[in-house]
Structure 1
Amino acid sequence: MTASPKSRRRVLVGVSAVAALSLGVGVAAGSRITSPEDAAAKTAPPKASQITVPVELKALASKVVGRGDTSFDGAVNIRVETSGLTTPAVVTGKVPTVGSTLKEGKALLEITGRPVIGLAGVLPMYRTLSPGSKGPDVLQLEQTLDRLGFDPGTVDSKYDLDTANAVEQLYEAAGYDAPEPDERLTQTVDAAKKNVDQAKNALRQARRALNQAKAMPGKKDLSVEQGAVSDAQDNLDDAETALADARFKAGTPLPVSEVVFVKSLPRRVDDVKVERGGTVNGVVMSASGASLVVTLKVDAQTHERLKAGMTASLDLGDGTIVPATVRRITRNADQYYVVVAPKSLTAHQLELLRDANVRVTIPVKSTNGKVLAVPVAALSAGPDGSSRVEVLRDGKVELIPVTVGLSADGYAQVTPAGDAKLVQGDQVVVGR
């Protein structure tokens, strides 16, 4: 049977449609096929690019930061020398309380009704001082009296009547009667006074006898009477000299049991070893400096950057920053201790700092105003060991030689070397 023209047209359309569909599928499949080279290219990491930061203009400051414990400065044990007492050393009053302040020129304690006055000095009180005493302990006493405003006369190593008068003033200011001299010395003064009175009476009698001889008619030889007057005058002079010497020796003394020299005052009482009615035997109390300090440990390298007198600051933890000063640096074996003292404290700040551990900052060096600064990571070393930075300009990296100054907080001061140029805002490479 022969197909009709209409049937042949239908077959042709169907074949064309199948061919077109096959062609579309082939094209789509071909577009999804990737060569090994293309696949490797597409999965490779992107080409590295530089990480840059701008050169800054800023002030730099190097500092030491650490934590330290607070305490009251310089604890000492206070002893009273009671060997000069003729009665038991019984504590009769003025017993201090822990936390109270020992002030210079005031009684720290009372023993047998007499004060123990605190004075600042490095030599201990080891003997009773009195007119005629000489030595470095006398010099220390006179220097102390003079500093406190009690005039000891010439400040030397001799305890004289001016020194004795100044000691009287010291006791008066402390609220006590001055010490009495030894009874034997006062007895010597009384005896010397009687001798002076007797010598004066003898001189009056000798002068009366001379005048009577002069009035006698025909009396020409007066040598005996005149000799008696001369002898009486000599005796009076000797008696008055002896009286002056006795009075000098009987001047106000300073008993060894009534003064304690402490390296520095005022101080804070840390512990009391005696009580009223008890007997003194050795240490009576321990005291530390009245000023609070903070002590932090540093290593040998850090120690070399610090010195006494440097400014510092204390962070009290509540946002308050207290100005301070490095007071001293001490060493124990391989460990260094930095003692920092606040310049002034309110009562509230003192309470916050008591027995606390606080953050301490000590500026070591700083630039004189703002300088060119880059992150330390931007620095590299050239073949000759010189420092340099990489600057990205117009898509190209330039090596700029620099001189490195102060480093602090991750930044370093840089100055372009020679004819090289480096300005604020230049982009320096810190990584890739």
Structure 2
Amino acid sequence: MSTSPKSRRRVLVGVSTVAAMSLGVGVAAGSRIQSPEDAAAKTAPPKASQITVPVEKKALASKVVGRGDTSFDGAVNVRVETSGLKTPAVVTGKVPAVGSTIKEGKVLLELAGRPVIGLAGVLPMYRTLSPGSRGPDVLQLEQTLDRLGFDPGTVDSKYDSGTANAVEQLYEAAGYEAPEAEEQLTQAVDGADKAVDQAKNALRQAQAALKQAKATPGKKDFTVEQGQVDDAAENLDDAQDELEDAEFKAGTPLPVSEVVFVKSLPRRVDDVKVERGGVVNGVVMSVSGASLVVTVKVDAQTKEQLKTGMAASFDLGDGTIIPATVRRISRNADQYDVVVAPKSLTAAQLERLREANVRVTIPVKSTNGKVLAVPVAALSAGSDGSSRVEVLRDGKIELVPVKVGLSADGFAEVTATGDAKLTEGDQVVVGK
């Protein structure tokens, strides 16, 4: 069977088309076939580039930051010595309220109708003081009276009439009658006063007898009469001395039950352990400092950076910063208690801070104005242990040796050493 020319042309066109299609598929498939090396090259991460930050000029300040609990400073128990009372130690009034403030020279409590006055002092009241008493407790009393404006005369360790007068003024200022001397002492004054009157009468009689003798005609010897006058005058002097001594001893005393010495005043009443009508038996109240403080616990390493008197501050939580001062640092087991006292507080702030926990900041060191600073991450150590930074200049890394100063808040003060140069805006490497 023969094939026409027209049919042969159709076959050739079909074969050509199939061949062209096959070639295209092969080229496409070939373009998707890669060697292992080509595949690895295309999937590998890009070459690392330098991460840099500019050198800055800034002021640096290192500080200790921590949280602390608020409290009222220095809680102590107030105890009244009632052994000198001749009646039961019944509380008759002036019972303070918790949260109130006791002040120096004011009445803390009233026992058996008599005041208990608070005074500032280290030595407790352990005996009744009266004219003639001597000792360090008398010196403390006189120093306190003098500080409060009640003149005790010479401030020494002797309780004299000046001290007694100052004690009277103390009671008058507190609104109470001054205490009286014991009955036998007042009786001794009465007896001495009568003796003075008798001595005066005896002297008058002796003087009258001498006068009469001198008026007697012919009498020339007045030895006896004059001797009687001299004896009577001497007896009067003795009687007057005894009266002065009795009056001195009967001067205003300070009963042991009517004064309480506390190390410092004013203070806040934290707890009251008595009530009106009750009988005192030991501690009558617990008081703390009237000033609020914040206590922050730090470790031994941090404690070495701190000292008493340093400026500090704490945050009320609403952005209000309260200036404060480090009052004291004391060891507490394996830690240290840093007590920070505010310089001043309003009544509202004081109430808000009761039993609160606040953020405390204590600046330790600071630069003198702005200095060149880099992130701590930019620092590295050379083979000799010296510090250096890597500076990117014109696409190349240059090692610049530096002296490192204060470090704070992730930055360090740096100064280029030798002939090296480092200026604000230089790009230092902090990572790759």
Question: Mapping of 1:61-80 within 5 angstroms?
Answer: 61-80=61-80
Offset from partner CA, 1:29-70 (integer Å, 9 cap, x none)? 554443333332222221111111111111111111111111
Alpha-carbon distance in 2 for matches of 1:218, 1:266: 82
**Corresponding residue SS for 1:422:** coil
Q: How many residues align?
A: 432
Residue number in structure 2 paired with 1:427? 427
Alpha-carbon distance in 2 for matches of 1:2, 1:84: 155
Question: Mapping of 1:236-251 within 5 angstroms?
Answer: 236-251=236-251
What residue ranges of structure 1 are gaps of 5+ in the alignment? none
Residue number in structure 1 paired with 2:180? 180
Residue number in structure 2 paired with 1:298? 298
Residue number in structure 2 paired with 1:202? 202
Alpha-carbon distance in 2 for matches of 1:385, 1:430: 19
Residue number in structure 2 paired with 1:373? 373
TM-score scaled to structure 1, two decimals? 0.94
Question: Mapping of 1:280-319 within 5 angstroms?
Answer: 280-319=280-319
Q: Does residue 114 of the first structure (1) align with residue 94 of the second (2)?
A: no
Alpha-carbon distance in 1 for matches of 2:106, 2:25: 112
CA drift of 1:288 comes to: 1.1
Question: Mapping of 1:108-187 within 5 angstroms?
Answer: 108-187=108-187
Question: Mapping of 1:15-414 within 5 angstroms?
Answer: 27-414=27-414
TM-score scaled to structure 2, two decimals? 0.94
> Which residue identity is paired with 1:332?
N
**Corresponding residue SS for 2:119:** strand
**Corresponding residue SS for 1:226:** helix
Structure 1 vs Structure 2 CA RMSD: 2.1
Alpha-carbon distance in 2 for matches of 1:20, 1:256: 126
Alpha-carbon distance in 1 for matches of 2:36, 2:355: 73
Offset from partner CA, 1:130-157 (integer Å, 9 cap, x none)? 0100000000001110111111111111
> Which residue identity is paired with 1:218?
G
Of stretches 290-299 and 110-119 in structure 1, the one that deviates more from structure 2 is: 290-299
Identity of aligned residues (%): 85
**Corresponding residue SS for 1:144:** helix
**Corresponding residue SS for 1:162:** helix
Alpha-carbon distance in 1 for matches of 2:14, 2:270: 113
Offset from partner CA, 1:241-266 (integer Å, 9 cap, x none)? 11111111111000000000011111
Of stretches 120-129 and 198-207 in structure 1, the one that deviates more from structure 2 is: 198-207
Alpha-carbon distance in 2 for matches of 1:41, 1:172: 101
Alpha-carbon distance in 1 for matches of 2:413, 2:296: 29
> Which residue identity is paired with 1:173?
A
Of stretches 44-53 and 148-157 in structure 1, the one that deviates more from structure 2 is: 44-53
Alpha-carbon distance in 2 for matches of 1:330, 1:172: 42
**Corresponding residue SS for 1:87:** coil
What residue ranges of structure 2 are gaps of 5+ in the alignment? none
CA drift of 1:275 comes to: 1.2
CA drift of 1:21 comes to: 5.8
CA drift of 1:24 comes to: 5.3
**Corresponding residue SS for 2:78:** strand
Offset from partner CA, 1:153-185 (integer Å, 9 cap, x none)? 111111000000000000000000000111111
CA drift of 1:402 comes to: 1.1
**Corresponding residue SS for 2:89:** coil
Alpha-carbon distance in 1 for matches of 2:293, 2:179: 38
